[in-house]
Amino acid sequence: MSRNLALELVRVTETAALASARYMGRGDKNGADGAAVEGMRLAFESIDIDGEVVIGEGELDEAPMLYIGEKLGTGNGRKTDIAVDPLEGTSLIAKGLPNAIAVLAMSEKGCLLKAPDTYMKKIVVGPEAKGCIDIDDTVTNNITRVSKALNKRISEITLIVQDRDRHKDIIDEARAIGARIKLFSDGDVASAMATCFEETGIDIFMGIGGAPEGVITAAAVKCMGGDMQAKLNPLSEEEISRCHEMGFTDEKLSKVLYLDDLAKGEDVFFAATGITSGDLLKGVVYLKNDKAKTHSIVMRSKTGTIRFVEAIHRLDKNSIMVDLMDKYKNI
């Protein structure tokens, strides 16, 4: 894939972020998500790829855009799998909270797991703790091994986990051994990615979240040289049936999914743009005279390159944004 493709993908997440950021704090998560979806889809139209959405906004009858199986790009380039979350953290932007992002991952055809819309148990660490995690082991043993790998005391290890009742056992066990805990409300991808950047102070991610988000997370972790394990974890009979319909037998549901099971291939791309400011990315800032500033990250596994991109956009000169601004002029 072309080196220039990385910057093309950043333009896609930038457009989604710019479109949805106008909804910050307005309490309209569906409106924000719809704007992000539309912006991302329009931005894809000019990219020379023959892409197919494998992780998207739903099935064809459930979402008008970016549905699973939808074709993206001009159709003239290399065949690719694409995983998208135009607005990860719909509740975050509705409430004006940190860490809402526009995010996507892309790889060669057949290289991203077609994960069912169900829950997934996940554990993630950065490059220095690679090989130290075991999703079937205890919280205590995982944290202990990570502390040794990082040359930190357990009392200096920070675990990030979503603030949900289903994670009570994880939180209780981590507290019992003296680990530090950071809770987050929403936004699996951004929180898991934080483990791969030392300056965030986050050492390990554990918990149960969305399986589609798990695949996108895996793409980012692979690009950054971190480590991840996962298991599909349906929480209802309906979710179990959904897994079976997508070819996941009971035997497959019990298997550990390693990083290459989630995102394999030699050329994985990941891009994200901040919508509201968080630990890793700054949010969209609207400036005077129809200008806006964005902060993004783009990565490629083949080269190991990680780029942070700050951009100033002239919204009145960008044809996509002109169309979107006209449509959402009352927002």
Tell me the C-alpha distance between 288 and 292, whole Å.
8
Residue 153 labeled ligand binder: no
- 259 DSSP β-pair partners: none
Distance of CA 128 to the CA centre of its chain: 21
Residue 166 labeled ligand binder: yes
Residue 213 labeled ligand binder: yes
Residue 265 labeled ligand binder: no
Per DSSP, the three-state class of 183 is: strand
Residue 85, H or E segment: strand 79-88
Residue 188 labeled ligand binder: yes
Residue 144 labeled ligand binder: no
Residue 258 labeled ligand binder: no
As a three-state string, the secondary structure of 21-75 is: HHHCCCCCHHHHHHHHHHHHHHHHCCCCCEEEEEECCCCCCCCCCCCCCCEECCC
Residue 89 labeled ligand binder: yes
Distance (Å) of CA 116 to CA 57, 160, 242, 287: 12, 24, 7, 40
Residue 57 labeled ligand binder: yes
- Show binding-site residues for substrate: 88-90, 119, 164-166, 186-188, 210
- Show binding-site residues: 33, 57, 85, 88-90, 119, 164-166, 186-188, 210, 213
- Show binding-site residues for Mn(2+): 33, 57, 85, 88, 213
